[in-house]
Structure 1
Amino acid sequence: MPEIAEVARIVHFLRLHVVGKQIASASAIDDKNVFGKVGTTGAEVEAALKGKKQEVRESISVMHFGMTGWVHIKGEKTAYTNYYKKMKAEDITQWPPKFWKFQFATEGTPGVEVAFTDSRRFGRVRLVDCPGDEIRKHSPLVENGPDPVVDLDRFTEEYLRGKMRARHVPIKALLLDQAMISGIGNWVADETLYQAKLHPEQYCDEFDESQIANLYKNIRYVCQTSVDELGDSDKFPEHWLFNYRWSKGAKGTAAKLPNGEKLAFITVGGRTSCYAPGLQKKTGRTVPGIKEEPLKTEAAPEAPKKSRKKSTSEFWEEGDPPAKKKKRTTSTKLEPNADKVKAEPAPDNDKLELGQRRSTRLRK
């Protein structure tokens, strides 16, 4: 899900290429999820865009990116390097891009072409009738908590302390609550707690004053740094958890950070957190039912093994047909004499007779 840094990245590109320009043409599809679930239609969004000048003080639409929503500008790579590495060359240059929901082009030379895309359709685009500088006084933004980068007059250490003392939930859950703080999602929360050396599932009202002060400092640090870099993870500090958290279950990956700390994943209520158990130790009660899933450790040099039978894939790689190999099964219970049954193809007449019996039963 796009988090605070990703939103900052999109805002950067829109300000750079779109603000102050007149929209010459616009189109939108009638997606009942993206538009319909927030009370509008593609036709209404299209009509609201046409002929409008995009100014900071003028608001036309509010976009919630959901899981896969994004804004693309023709000729610009508004996403990240890894995003484009997974795409075919023709898909990168295709315009409008796949899964577009609305698009528009500006007047002038050169004109700018913009498209909002969402492959999984969890994003939402709605119209809000108010000046742009008042948008946060209206739903849905009015329900959100302060931005830890922009709203420093509201997001203070005292504010954080008050929220933590007033509730009895895991600290990770509190950080993810958009009504408490805006823009913190899964990886930002994990990074913040790793930097603050706090256990993600410890109850938020069981931290002392120094831990709360440290948490506040690291929320500001992680959010500000990621926004300053426009979410470009290639520029994140080398010591960040972000650079190592994505290897869960990958064969041959190291379960350690450069400082030697081991990583693990814990799951509570269906939500997974990455943390360093040797560093982020409990200092109070934690939520019950934690399921820990350690990452695979670095492979140690293997001792010589006894000869073994080759797998089917190994036979094929060497050109040796696996005709005599028995198919392995994961079942621990076999039928009597199952190993004596020969797996031979049925004669054609048997297949025909079976088909006739099935046909007869259907007619009856």
Structure 2
Amino acid sequence: MPEIGEVARVVHFLRKHCANKVISTIQVQEDNIVYGKVGTSATAFQKAFTGKKILDAKQQGKYFWLEMEGKQHPVMHLGMTGWVRFRNDTTTHYYGSKNDKNEPQEWPPRFWKFILQLDNDSNQEVAFVDARRLARIRVVEAEAKDLRNTTPLKENGPDPVIDKDILTEAWLEEKLKSKKVPVKALMLDQANISGIGNWVADEILYQARIHPEQYSYTFSSAQISALHKAMMEVCGTAVEVLSDSSRFPETWLMRYRWDKGKKDKNVLPNGDKIVHLKVGGRTSAIVPRVQKKTGKVAEDVESADEVSEGAADSQEEPTPKKTKAQPKTTKSKKTETTTKDEVAKEDSKPKRTRTTKRRAESDEEDGGSAVKEEEAEDTKPGKKRQTKKSQADTKKAAKSKVEDAPAEEGSRRRSGRLSGKGV
């Protein structure tokens, strides 16, 4: 997903190619998700900005907007796969091919949502694209200077790059102490801090030597200081180099974290192993040797420090430790508590093996005579299925014996059941 650095790249090229130019025409494709989910439409977007001049492009975290003349401005979010493409520039994407400059560009690009033509020049066209339709395009009405005090920007936390005067070490400490969530989950919540996504959070936590599962309120002042320093440096560098990974420091985890599932690949140059686990529903890359837990963690997640060597090699999420199950004990108790009446009702069911086993255990001291007698009975014809007449005779005999000796009802009924087997 495009994060603070990738969005800074979009803003850079929008400013470069669009600032101080007039939108002469707008092509739109109606989309009731990309536009409709945030209360506007492609038609409303087209009507609002056709013929208007673009003054600037700006950003707050993962949101960006075009500052227009007048009181209406397009505020956009790239979602998972959204991007902005330029007809006269093929180098704008952060993971573009090395041969982009020599490859003809498809235009209009696939999955476009709107195309702006600038200054009546067909070569100066800008397209917003999104394959998965998780991006959002809004028309926000406000003075340009008040945009950040308007929905959706006002619901988001401070940006680590443009709001350094707000996101101070003291502010971060207060925020961490006020929550009881894994620190990574807190960082990913845009209501707390704008612009930090999955890879940026992992990089910050690695640089600060902090485990992502540890609860936010458990950190010492020294750890919070390290976290704040790493946050400022990682976000600042990502924005400064426009998310060009070739310009990231060699010491960054970002350079080595993408080989999940490839054996012997997830290692740093110094040999430290990179392990993947899930925190807050997101896959996290950590280095267990340096990212140790020093406080409480969520009970429903397993530590990467406890991941076996095999699990680490496969890069699969570690299986939670199983509680000791006792299926055999349960089954045994159920058998032992079966009532004698229930035993009588099971006369017609050929549970020969279980009965033989119980008889063998009870008569073991007699040299196994009961087992031999029962095995002999098992060879007699008519063993597997009793006729209605034989069943009636068996029940009659059992009833007669019970009436003769009511004090031994349980044992007589059991004896009658077994004696009926040979009928």
Question: How would you bin the TM-score normalised by the shorter chain?
Answer: 0.7 to 0.9
Tell me the equivalent position of 1:296. 313
Which has the larger displacement, 254-263 or 95-104? 254-263
**Mapped partners of 1:270, 1:166: distance in 2:** 21
Which has the larger displacement, 255-264 or 215-224? 255-264
Which has the larger displacement, 58-67 or 185-194? 58-67
**Mapped partners of 1:31, 1:86: distance in 2:** 33
2:138 partner SS? strand
CA offsets per residue over residues 324-350 of structure 1, 9 Å max, x none?
Answer: xxxxxxxxxxxxxxxxxxxxxxxxxxx
CA shift at 1:173, angstroms? Answer: 0.5
TM-score (norm 2): 0.66
The residue type paired with residue 113 of structure 1 is E
**Mapped partners of 2:283, 2:13: distance in 1:** 32
* 1:9–1:78 CA contact under 8 A, matched in 2: no
**Structure 1 residue 173 corresponds to structure 2 residue 190:** no
**Mapped partners of 2:46, 2:3: distance in 1:** 27
CA offsets per residue over residues 202-244 of structure 1, 9 Å max, x none?
Answer: 0010000000011000000000001000011111111110011
Tell me the equivalent position of 1:23. 23
The residue type paired with residue 175 of structure 2 is K
Tell me the equivalent position of 2:73. 60
* 1:49–1:104 CA contact under 8 A, matched in 2: no
Tell me the equivalent position of 2:135. 123
Q: How does 1:123-202 map to 2 (within 5 A)?
A: 123-202=135-214
* 1:71–1:78 CA contact under 8 A, matched in 2: no
CA shift at 1:255, angstroms? Answer: 2.6
Tell me the equivalent position of 2:14. 14
**Mapped partners of 1:205, 1:71: distance in 2:** 39
User: Quick one: higher RCO (CA 8 Å, sep 6+), 1 or 2?
Assistant: 1
Structure index of larger Rg = 2
Q: How does 1:247-286 map to 2 (within 5 A)?
A: 247-250=259-262, 252-286=263-297
* CA RMSD in angstroms, aligned pairs only: 2.0
**Structure 1 residue 212 corresponds to structure 2 residue 224:** yes
Of 89, 112, 119, 1:76 maps to 89
**Mapped partners of 1:75, 1:123: distance in 2:** 23
Q: Larger helix proportion, structure 1 or 2?
A: 2
TM-score (norm 1): 0.77
What are structure 1's unaligned runs of at least 5 residues?
A: 298-364
Q: How does 1:41-120 map to 2 (within 5 A)?
A: 41-56=41-56, 57-58=67-68, 59-80=72-93, 82-84=95-97, 93-107=105-119, 112-120=124-132
1:189 partner SS? helix
Identity %: 48
2:7 partner SS? helix
What are structure 2's unaligned runs of at least 5 residues?
A: 57-66, 315-423
Change (3 A) 1:277 1:86: farther
* 1:13–1:78 CA contact under 8 A, matched in 2: no
Tell me the equivalent position of 1:322. none
1:296 partner SS? helix
Change (3 A) 1:178 1:278: same
Count the aligned residue pairs. Answer: 294
